[in-house]
């Protein structure tokens, strides 16, 4: 529900931290008005108030006679009605259990999306709260340790509410942060299965060239994670927690997260995986990383104080058990891999852009994995291992789990 000051919609957040031309044309009144009629949200007082700078879709806050709503358009090749319904059912479940998430509006015929030609539209209510990180790029840190602490609490609240949501994992589609390749006995076999479900990605030359390097770089982390996999219960998760996917109580350093938004990457994974994604998005300033991820002359800031605050906030609501704590460091090192592949699938298969796909694979997939071999990367993992070593499963937390 991010707003941008640029109402012409001619810039969005780029993959390398710059502002770039959008891949998807911004929404117009001419296309929005008939979509809103499907929701009985129409009249003369329809105006586009803002244009989101997020790069993977076109979205705007729109004024209607019935109030402001958030309208999002995606290509059907990225999200069709069935793909959106998976997200919307999860959102409805969370809202029913008190998690502050956007309400998804239904059309006059009872559906939660509208398909027009090659496009799919969804319309959300706008939760209360300030869009404090509206202009923040992904992979940029929280503004304060207090924000990180509150974000951790919100994520734990979501995990507690999601425990009885039993929907299966999402169908294969681009831009989903799934967890399948490193979730079983053989990452190599699981990667082959993943590629069979994403045929465009399977034909991507850069992935064919770097897949063995990626598996080799990630193998030590998988070896550390594997003993704990059976102790990580499956759970629907958000998979994209960072400051701009939260709405805030005010603009101070002590502001609290009051709503969580943007469930586009959600899937059935596990709580530790979701925490690892939050660490990846907000604790490491990846945008400082050079193209191949190996130039130690340009250090990548790592906000360990924010990490400690986020984990402390999380555990105030949902304490981690011993297995989850032990799994967090290796999960943090390999948790980016599957979304890197999903991004490459989007850029190569949906946008037909090998140049942009290269940001995801090999640069994101292998570059981030190489970074964990640097002193800074090892320092982050050592910090998490030390934290896990201090973590003891007390009688008070022994039965907390996901309930």
Q: What is the DSSP string of 257-299?
A: EEEE---TT-EEEEHHHHHHHHHHHHTB-GGGS-TTS--TTS-
Instruction: Please confirm whether the linkage preceding 251 is cis (ω < 30° from 0).
Output: no
140 domain-assigned: no
Q: What domain range includes position 159?
A: 145-390
Do 208 and 339 lie in a common domain? Answer: yes
**H/E run at residue 123:** strand 119-125
Mean pLDDT in each 10-residue stretch from start to end of the chain (403 residues)? 48 57 89 94 84 91 94 97 97 98 97 97 96 85 97 98 97 97 97 97 97 98 98 98 97 98 97 97 84 57 97 98 97 97 96 94 94 95 96 49 47
Predicted pLDDT of residue 53: 87
Number of domains the chain contains: 2
Q: Which two tokens stand for residue 159?
A: 């995990």
The radius of gyration computed from the CA coordinates of the chain, to the nearest angstrom, equals 20
Our CA dihedral for 147, 149, 150, 154, rounded to 10 degrees, sits at 130
CA distance 172 to 309: 35
6 domain-assigned: no
> E strands along 45-112, which residues?
47-51, 58-64, 67-75
Predicted pLDDT of residue 10: 62
3-state secondary structure of 228: helix
Do 107 and 196 lie in a common domain? Answer: no
CA angle in degrees (0–180, nearest 5) for 38-74-71: 45
Pairing assessment for the beta strands 67-75 and 119-125 based on DSSP bridges: antiparallel
369 domain-assigned: yes
**H/E run at residue 19:** strand 19-20
Do 149 and 100 lie in a common domain? Answer: no
Q: Which two tokens stand for residue 337?
A: 């891999």
Do 115 and 61 lie in a common domain? Answer: yes
Predicted pLDDT of residue 43: 74
5 domain-assigned: no
- Those residues whose C-beta lies under 8 Å from the C-beta of residue 234, and which sit 6 or more positions away, are 268, 269, 270
CA distance 235 to 270: 5
CATH of the domain at 82: 3.30.200.20
Predicted pLDDT of residue 18: 61
Count other Cβ atoms within 10 Å, centred on residue 285: 16
Task: Please say which residue of 92, 125, 158 terminates a domain.
Answer: 125
Q: Which two tokens stand for residue 121?
A: 């539209």
């Amino acid at each position: 529900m991010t707003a941008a000051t640029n109402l012409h919609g001619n810039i969005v957040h780029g993959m390398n931290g710059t502002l770039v031309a959008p891949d998807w044309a911004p929404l117009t009144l001419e296309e929005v008005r008939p979509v809103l009629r499907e929701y009985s949200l129409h009249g003369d007082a329809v105006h586009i108030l803002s244009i989101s700078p997020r790069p993977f879709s076109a979205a705007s806050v729109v004024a209607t006679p019935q109030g402001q709503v958030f309208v999002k358009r995606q290509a059907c090749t990225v999200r069709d009605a069935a793909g959106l319904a998976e997200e919307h059912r999860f959102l409805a479940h969370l809202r029913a259990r008190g998690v502050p998430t956007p309400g998804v509006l239904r059309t006059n015929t009872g559906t939660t999306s509208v398909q027009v030609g090659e496009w799919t539209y969804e319309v959300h209510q706008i939760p209360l709260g300030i869009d404090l990180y509206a202009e923040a790029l992904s992979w940029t840190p929280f503004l304060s340790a207090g924000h990180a602490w509150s974000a951790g609490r919100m994520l734990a609240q979501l995990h507690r509410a999601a425990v009885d949501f039993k929907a299966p994992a999402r169908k294969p589609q681009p831009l989903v942060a799934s967890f399948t390749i490193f979730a079983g006995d053989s990452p190599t076999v699981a990667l082959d299965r993943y590629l069979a479900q994403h045929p465009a990605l399977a034909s991507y030359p850069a992935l064919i060239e770097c897949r063995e390097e990626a598996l080799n770089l990630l193998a030590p982390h998988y070896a550390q994670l594997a003993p704990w996999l059976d102790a990580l219960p499956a759970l629907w998760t958000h998979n994209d927690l960072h400051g701009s996917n939260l709405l805030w109580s005010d603009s101070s350093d002590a502001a609290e997260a009051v709503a969580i938004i943007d469930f586009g990457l959600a899937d059935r994974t596990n709580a530790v995986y979701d925490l690892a994604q939050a660490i990846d998005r907000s604790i490491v300033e990846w945008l400082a990383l050079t193209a191949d991820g190996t130039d130690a002359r340009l250090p990548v800031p790592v906000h360990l104080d924010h990490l400690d605050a986020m984990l402390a906030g999380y555990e105030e609501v949902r304490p981690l058990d011993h297995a989850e704590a032990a799994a967090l460091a290796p999960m943090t090192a390999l948790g980016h891999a599957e979304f890197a592949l999903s991004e490459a699938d989007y850029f190569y298969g949906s946008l037909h852009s090998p140049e942009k796909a290269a940001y995801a694979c090999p640069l994101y997939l292998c570059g981030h994995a190489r970074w964990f071999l640097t002193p800074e990367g090892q320092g982050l993992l050592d910090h998490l291992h030390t934290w896990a070593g201090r973590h003891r499963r007390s009688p008070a937390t022994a039965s907390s789990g996901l309930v």
